[in-house]
Amino acid sequence: MAIAVMCSGGDCAGMNPGVKKFVDYCFDKGEQPYLIFDGLEGLIDGNIKKATHEDVAGIMHEGGTMIRSSRSKRFYEREFRAKAYENLSALGIDRIVVMGGDGSFRALDRFSKEFDTSFVGIPSTIDNDIFGTEYCLGVDTALNVIRRATDEVRDTSASFKRGCVIETMGRDCGYLALVSAITCGAEVCIIPEAEHDLQTLGERLRHEIKNGRRYVVCIAAEGSKLTPELVEWLEKEVGIETRATILGHIQRGGNPTVFDRLMATEFMTFAVDRLIGEEKTNAVVVYRQSNFAFESIDYITSSKYEIKPQLIAMGQKMFR
Ligand code: F6P
């Protein structure tokens, strides 16, 4: 029986190094690797190919995923899951590694219980919002994209004596915004996980501007949904001309950092070892306190991810 890899949901940097490691490591272990293209949609449509070393040559440094990804509505319907199983069975594939988020893991968990398939999930999302793991693939690269953009926006803000509101992705999670605000030295950070007080912040900023401050950097998580209000607050209450920069999908791209390449390699090795070593498994590889471990899908989806309190504490001066 054979083993396959796929990506599902939002792509992220680190997926390509993961795919490369998957193919190379399967061959090392005497297994025939397969590539599932286009995520769950490709699984339904039978877009599956036997992998060769050539397929994954020269992809280590590339962002995105060469096997592509998708968000699938059809996979919620049993009829299409049955079609996906037929496609796998025809090729003798009974084990899958999926790089994706908890929604994808839930879908695959259901699939593997309905049909006779093993799978291991690798947490992969720039949002870093999966319960049970301290790190998701792609986060370090996204943080570096944000860090570079923020440094550049600060250059122009300081040249013009302006404020800037930089909106980061992250869905409902403020992790990207908070870590970026701490590491870029922002004055203001707005995230859904922490209460903010614009009155106190405004008083402090007005005082600093009076004493020579030339710019204000405000990093806001998309989940806060406050970007236009923050621009208005800086202009009207704080008294500094302000521009908004919504970073958007550039945060999902870029060449994977060294850390994401290494994490992809380690996550994938653990995933493949588990699939080779156990007759039937469905689990997620997690990373905690510098170690890798496995958790059940039920555990991963049992709670909401929370940013660690020490990080929230470090942001206090930027919230209020
Ligand atoms: O989950 C990753 C993510 O990039 C979120 O940060 C963002 O809210 C969402 O996906 C954007 O989704 P789409 O690529 O479908 O616009």
The length of the chain in residues reads 320
Beta sheet of 282-288, edge-to-edge order:
48-50, 33-36, 2-7, 93-100, 118-123, 282-288, 291-295
Cβ-contact 12, 42 below 8 angstroms:
no
pLDDT, residue 41, reads 98
CB of 315 within 6 A of ligand 1: the answer is no
Ligand 1 center to 171 CA (angstroms): 7
Nearest 5°: phi and psi at 8?
A: -145, 140
**CA distance readout (Å), 19 to 15, 67, 219, 289:** 6, 8, 33, 25
Model pLDDT, residue 222:
98
Residue with CA nearest ligand 1 atom 16: 249
Give residue 203's pLDDT. Answer: 98
Answer yes or no: are the C-beta atoms of 59 and 66 closer than 8 Å.
Answer: yes
pLDDT at site 192: 98
Which residue from 148, 143, 167, 190 is spatially nearest to 248, judged by alpha carbons? Answer: 167
Q: Closest residue (by CA) to atom 13 of ligand 1?
A: 10
Q: Which value, in Å, is the radius of gyration of the alpha carbons in the chain?
A: 22
What's residue 229's pLDDT? 98
In the chain, what are the domains? 2-138+256-300 (3.40.50.450), 140-252 (3.40.50.460)
Instruction: Kindly state if the Cβ of 169 falls inside 6 Å of ligand 1.
Output: yes
- Give the whole-angstrom CA distance, residue 317 versus residue 285: 35
Order of strands, sheet of 216-221, starting from the edge strand that comes earlier in the sequence: 188-190, 216-221, 163-168, 242-246
Distance 10 CA to ligand 1 centre (A): 6
The residue whose CB lies within 8 Å of the most ligand 1 atoms, and thus the one to mutate among 104, 169, 179, 251, is: 169
CA distance 129 to 120: 18
User: Would you say the CB of residue 120 lies under 6 angstroms from ligand 1?
Assistant: no
Cα 61 to Cα 154: distance, rounded to the nearest angstrom: 28
163 contacts 241 by C-beta, under 8 angstroms: yes
Task: For residue 257, give every residue at least 6 positions away whose Cβ sits within 8 Å of its Cβ, in sequence order, or none.
Answer: 13, 140, 141, 144
pTM above the 0.95 mark?
yes
Report the chain (320 residues): mean pLDDT per 10 consecutive residues: 97 98 98 98 98 98 98 97 98 98 95 95 98 98 98 98 98 98 98 98 98 98 98 98 98 98 98 95 96 97 97 97
Answer whether 12's CB lies under 8 Å from 126's CB.
yes
Catalytic residues: 127
Residue identified by tokens 């449509």 is 45
Alpha carbons 206 and 257: distance in angstroms, whole number: 38
The residue whose two tokens read 């958790």 is: 295
The atom of ligand 1 lying closest to the CA of 169 is 6
Closest residue by Cα to residue 129 from 139, 115, 141: 139
For residue 66, how far is its CA from the centre of ligand 1 (angstroms)?
Answer: 18
